[in-house]
Amino acid sequence: MGMFDEVQCNHELFGEHKGETHQTKKLHWLGGLLEKYEITPSGRLEFLEYTTEDRNDPTLKGIARWGSSMTMVFTGGRRDLNYHGRLYLSCFGRAKFTDGTIIVFEPEPDQPRDSEGPDEFKPSGLVSDSANEA
């Protein structure tokens, strides 16, 4: 378990998923830092700049009070990362960037939602018990 960054996917390559936000841990060597990014309509990966403000609520207790003291406030500033390589978006797919611009999106293959029961899985090449009885 860990923290993730969020990437808003606003490029046409995302098709019906355009506008959705997905998680990644691939933009920082420590993993996610809860930061926000956008793949813009023009295909650039941009960091959405923010400051932190103390919006401490004196009525809160414990960790809730501590968390409110570090509220992210987006400034409207953006920084183009000129990203080159593949960006993995958790459980969604990979975006490939060349010279800072997205060139292809490879969706994650569909994974089965339920695991197979022990009677449903038979490795190929094995003969079933009923065949051995004959």
Q: In total, how many domains does the chain have?
A: 1
Is residue 133 in some structural domain? no
Would you list the DSSP string of 24-56?
ESTTSTTS--S-EEEE-TTSBEEEEEEEEE---
Question: Could you report the per-residue pLDDT of 35-69, keeping only the tens digit for each?
Answer: 999 999 999 999 999 988 887 778 888 887 776 67
Rounded to the nearest 5 degrees, what angle is found at the Cα of 76, between the Cα atoms of 74 and 81?
95
Is residue 22 in some structural domain? yes
Question: Could you report the per-residue pLDDT of 72-106, keeping only the tens digit for each?
Answer: 889 999 999 999 999 999 999 999 999 999 999 99
Closest-CA residue to 40 (of 48, 28, 32): 48
Amino acid identity, position 8:
Q
Q: Could you tell me the pTM of the whole model?
A: 0.71
In Å, how far from its chain's centre is CA 45?
14
Is residue 69 in some structural domain? yes
- Name the least confident of 23-27, 30-34, 50-54, 111-115: 111-115
Domain hosting 45: range is: 5-110
Is residue 21 in some structural domain? yes
